[in-house]
Structures are given as C-alpha cells and as structure tokens.
Amino acid sequence: MSDQPTEVIGADRTPAAAAAQRRRRPRWVRVLLWTLIPLVVVVALLVIADVIVRSVAEQRVASEIEKNLPDTVKADVSVHIGGVSVIQQYLSGSFESVELDAPHATVNGAPLSATITATGVPADFSKPVQSATGVLTVSQDSLNKLITIPGSTGDITLGEGTIGYAGKIDLLGLPVGYTVNAIPKAAGKEVLLQPGKASLTTGGGDVNLTRLLQALTDNGPFPVCAAQYLPDGVKVSDIQVTPKAATVTLTASDFVLDEKFLHSKGSCS
C-alpha cells in the first residue's frame, strides 16, 4: 500500500476564491439588476413628484374657492383630488374627481356642513366643470336662520321625515291658525311640501281637521323656492329629514367655478 497522501479535489482553492465564486452572479442577473434599479429609482421619484404636485394642486383649489366665497359664507375648505396620477390628469387638461369638504362652514352666521364631489374638473379654472353633487347637513336652528316658508308664522320644526310649520288660512270666511307636518320632496328649483297632518291653533269654530287638511292640499304640494338660496343653476335632487337635521343633496352641471358663479342666486320664475 502506498504511503503517498490522497489528493483532495479542489484543495488548491483558497477560502477567498471559493467565496468569490459563490458570490459571482450569472450575467443575466447583473443585467436585470442594472435595468431594474434605475427603473425603481425613476418610479420612486415620479411618485414623490406626484405627491408633491397633488398637495400643491389641492391647496391651490382650496385657496381659490375660499377666496371667491361670498361675504356671507365662511368656510375652511379641504380638497382631495382623486385618480391615480395628478400629473397625468393635469397634462390631460382635467381632473377625474375633486372632493371638497367644509364640515364647519357658516352661512349668514348659521353653521352647517358641506361636502361636494365634482367630476371633470378642468385644470384651467376659467373652463366649466362637467358635473358636481353636494350634500348639505343643516340643523333645525340653522334652517330657521336660513330658510323662510312663505306664509308661515313660526319656526320650522324637524321630525322623522317631516317638516312642521305654522300658518294661517281663510276657511269658510274665517281666519284659521294651524300647524302642519309636511313631507318634503326635492323638485329641482323647489322643495315641495305635502301636508300630511294638521291641527288648529286659533279660530275655526266647528271646522274639522279633515276640511282643514283638504283646504291645505287642494292645490297640491306647497312649493318653497330653494333656488333663491343657491347659486344659479344648482338644483335640489334629494332631501332627507330627521329630528336632528335636514340633509339636502344638490346637483349642478356645466358651470364655471368662479366668483361670479359662487355669488349668483337662482330664481323660480
């Protein structure tokens, strides 16, 4: 038997060489990394730039709106621009959606909250907005400061799905005071009040409530002009009432969101 030591395969490689070989990557991996790393950096920079542009654009929109509000309206407006890329939307000339939120606004000193969602908002404010939907939430106290029902003689009261008010009517030649609970219905420029329950407050003698209610409903629902309180072209599309507040949904389309529009008032004539 030979006394010569057995040769070990690979014994001539140093530990450093072995480690270097393990670290060596295939060429396609290196090419892939050289391509992906700059691409990731570019994407990250674009995302950061978009975030900055979005913030600047939102602040600009909020500032323009607050600047153009009528003197009777006070609000801190927050703005959120929807969509994936604000830069891309700006370059296309319009934003997909813009949400305005003013939870602590006041109108003639009466507090209310407002949320408006607009679509097709142009980057150039001198061009028309495609459409917008707004939701106002108004308490009973604020409603009485802002709205007057023609012919009513007292405050408006809110119920579950109803609006209550007092008034006077000539019935069989006699002046009759009454209170009525009416169901409100949105009708574009108007809110229609359909009396559902009435009671006498003064006069009337032997006039019964059925005759009173018939007299109040003979001409159909009682119209209240809402347009006179809103910018020209804004319509009431829905109204929901609870004892705590009235929630009114408004819509508008093809309007320029500028000082002229915000200061305008509609009419029912």
| β partners of residue 114 | 102, 136
Task: Give the DSSP letter string of 4-34.
Answer: SPPPPTTTTS-HHHHHHHHHPPPHHHHHHHH
Q: Which pLDDT tens digit goes with each residue over 183-217?
A: 999 999 999 999 888 887 776 555 666 777 777 77
How long a stretch of residues is the chain?
269
Chain segment 220-263, per-residue pLDDT in tens: 788 999 999 999 999 999 999 999 999 999 999 999 988 899 99
How many Å apart are CA 95 and CA 98, to the nearest integer? Answer: 7
When pLDDT is cut at 50, 70 and 90, the band that residue 11 belongs to is very low
Whole-number pLDDT of residue 8? 46
Question: End-to-end distance of the chain based on CA atoms, in angstroms?
Answer: 122
- Average pLDDT in the chain: 83
| CA 137-142-147 angle, 5° bins | 95
More confident residue, 154 or 23: 154
How many other C-beta atoms are found inside a 10 Å radius of the C-beta of residue 175? 11
Q: Which two tokens stand for residue 239?
A: 């109204």
pLDDT of amino acid 64: 85
CB under 8 A, 24+ apart: contacts of 215-221: 215/169, 215/171, 216/169, 216/178, 216/180, 220/192, 221/182, 221/185, 221/192, 221/193, 221/194
Q: How far apart are CA 223 and CA 219, in angstroms?
A: 10
